[in-house]
């Protein structure tokens, strides 16, 4: 029976390791391509090829690097989505506990805010009563 319960745990661990590996690879790809784009911005030195050819090569390389950055970014977004789906599908109890805790916290806040609002209403009513008495106590109604 312990063997049956360890199989899902190993599967979960393998999936989480896969997520970690993919995360490291995508972040490394973004970093590498960004560094290469920054290197291309540095000052050029005269070489054997013409400036026009050099510019075309840099433009093409920048397009490739930008495409790689975009691809790695999209892969990270997909990874985040996969992790969310995994969390939603396989972690109902934690979600339920979190929702219950959050609901209790909001209920406590609601009681606190209701008490504050009732205090404010009472203070406003008292002030309004004082202003009415002062207004009607004055013979002309104006100061």
Contact criterion met (CB below 8 Å) for 111 and 118: no
- In terms of domains, do 58 and 103 share one? no
Q: Per-residue pLDDT tens for 9-41?
A: 677 778 888 888 988 998 898 888 888 888 877
Q: Give percent of the chain with pLDDT exceeding 70.
A: 84
- In terms of domains, do 44 and 109 share one? no
- In terms of domains, do 85 and 112 share one? no
- In terms of domains, do 84 and 118 share one? no
- In terms of domains, do 7 and 49 share one? yes
Contact criterion met (CB below 8 Å) for 62 and 37: yes
Q: Cα–Cα distance between 70 and 76 in angstroms, integer? A: 10
Domain holding 11, by residue range, is 1-90
pLDDT of residue 140: 60
- In terms of domains, do 101 and 75 share one? no
Cα torsion angle, 129, 131, 134, 140, sign: negative
- In terms of domains, do 125 and 138 share one? yes
Q: Per-residue pLDDT tens for 86-120?
A: 877 777 777 778 889 999 999 999 999 999 999 99
- In terms of domains, do 137 and 107 share one? yes
Mean pLDDT of 65-92: 86
- In terms of domains, do 52 and 1 share one? yes
- In terms of domains, do 16 and 77 share one? yes
Query: 75, 90, 105 — which closes off a domain?
Result: 90
- In terms of domains, do 85 and 105 share one? no
- In terms of domains, do 106 and 48 share one? no
Q: Cα–Cα distance between 88 and 136 in angstroms, integer? A: 64
Whole-structure pTM over 0.85, yes or no?
no
Cα torsion angle, 106, 109, 113, 114, sign: positive
Pick the closest to residue 30 from 60, 72, 67 (CA basis): 72
């Amino acid at each position: 029976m312990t063997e049956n319960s360890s199989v899902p745990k190993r599967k979960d661990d393998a999936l989480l390791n896969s997520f970690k590996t993919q995360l490291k690879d995508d972040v490394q790809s973004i970093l590498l391509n960004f560094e290469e784009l920054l290197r291309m911005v540095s000052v050029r030195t005269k070489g054997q090829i013409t400036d026009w050819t050099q510019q075309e090569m840099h433009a093409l390389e920048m397009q490739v690097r930008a495409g790689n950055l975009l691809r790695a970014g999209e892969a990270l977004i997909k990874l985040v989505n996969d992790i969310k789906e995994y969390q939603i599908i396989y972690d109902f109890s934690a979600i339920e506990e979190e929702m219950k805790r959050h609901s209790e916290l909001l209920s406590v806040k609601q009681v606190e805010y209701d008490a504050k609002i009732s205090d404010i209403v009472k203070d406003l009513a008292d002030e309004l009563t004082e202003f009415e008495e002062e207004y009607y106590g004055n013979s002309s109604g104006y100061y």
